[in-house]
Amino acid sequence: MKKWIVILMTVAIAAGGTYVYHARSNNSEPLEIGTTAPDFTTIGALAGKEFQFSLADKLKDGPVVLYFFPKVFTEGCTIEANMFADATAEFNAAGATVIGMSGDDIEGLKKFSVSECRDKFAVARADDEIIESYQVRMSPGLAMTNRTSYVIDREGRIAFVHSATKPQGHVTGTLAKVKALSKS
């Protein structure tokens, strides 16, 4: 079965289509493609330096990849951050901004932005309102997000969703969608 999922995902992405993979332990469903992305402003970190991040402002520059991850310095989140760091130049070439989102405190995010994000992309604090509005709460009452990646187009609509517990697939899926958007 997994082999067919990978084949279908590859065909859908290669055709410039949209693919959603949903495999999570909680009952929350990610936002649907075509939905207007909830706007927010929060505190973030890039290369260890704190800044204010505004989704509306960043969308003026092009598509935004918001990838939610559970916890800084855990194995899967470190792997995912390293993969996004390795692909940052490709995202930038396609005109997209990548920002990792987590319920962690800003001090942890500052350190993570240096060591695991390798100073290449920002991470930001996902407070309860952001976690709820993007439907990424890992479990009720917990200020941790599940692993869900969204591509938000310039018009502020969800263009792509990838939700899976494993970090693999988040970078390839979001990058393929961003490249497709840059050609349209």
Q: Name the 3-class secondary structure at 121.
A: coil
Kindly report, residue by residue over 131-161, the tens digit of the pLDDT. 999 999 998 878 899 999 999 999 999 999 9
pLDDT for residue 141: 78
Report yes or no on 161 lying in a domain. yes
pLDDT, mean over the chain: 88
Q: Check whether 11 has a pLDDT greater than 90.
A: no
pLDDT for residue 31: 97
Mean pLDDT of 62-79: 97
pLDDT for residue 19: 38
d(CA 93, CA 99): 16
CB atoms within 10 A of CB 25: 9
No. of helices (H) and no. of strands (E), the chain: 6, 8
Q: Check whether 63 has a pLDDT greater than 50.
A: yes
In the structure encoding, which two tokens stand for residue 112, read together?
Answer: 């993570």
Domains of the chain: total: 1
pLDDT for residue 25: 39
| CATH classification of the domain holding 171 | 3.40.30.10
Report yes or no on 45 lying in a domain. yes
Q: Check whether 8 has a pLDDT greater than 60.
A: no
Cβ-proximal residues to 22 (8 Å cutoff; 6+ apart), any chain: 29, 30, 163, 164
Decide if 57 contacts 92 (C-beta within 8 A). no
Tell whether the torsion through CA atoms of 61, 133, 71 and 163 is positive or negative.
negative
pLDDT for residue 94: 97
Report yes or no on 167 lying in a domain. yes
Report yes or no on 116 lying in a domain. yes
pLDDT for residue 143: 82
Q: State the amino acid at position 56 in one-letter form.
A: A
Percent of the chain scoring above 90 in pLDDT = 80
What is the pTM for the complete model shown? 0.84
Report yes or no on 15 lying in a domain. no
Helix boundaries (H) for 60-164: 75-93, 106-115, 128-133
Report yes or no on 115 lying in a domain. yes
Q: Check whether 66 has a pLDDT greater than 60.
A: yes
Decide if 43 contacts 106 (C-beta within 8 A). yes
Report yes or no on 104 lying in a domain. yes
For residue 184, what pLDDT band results from cuts at 50, 70 and 90?
A: confident
d(CA 177, CA 28): 23
Q: Check whether 12 has a pLDDT greater than 50.
A: no
Q: Name the 3-class secondary structure at 17.
A: coil
Report yes or no on 139 lying in a domain. yes
Can you give the residue range of the structural domain that contains 76?
Answer: 20-183
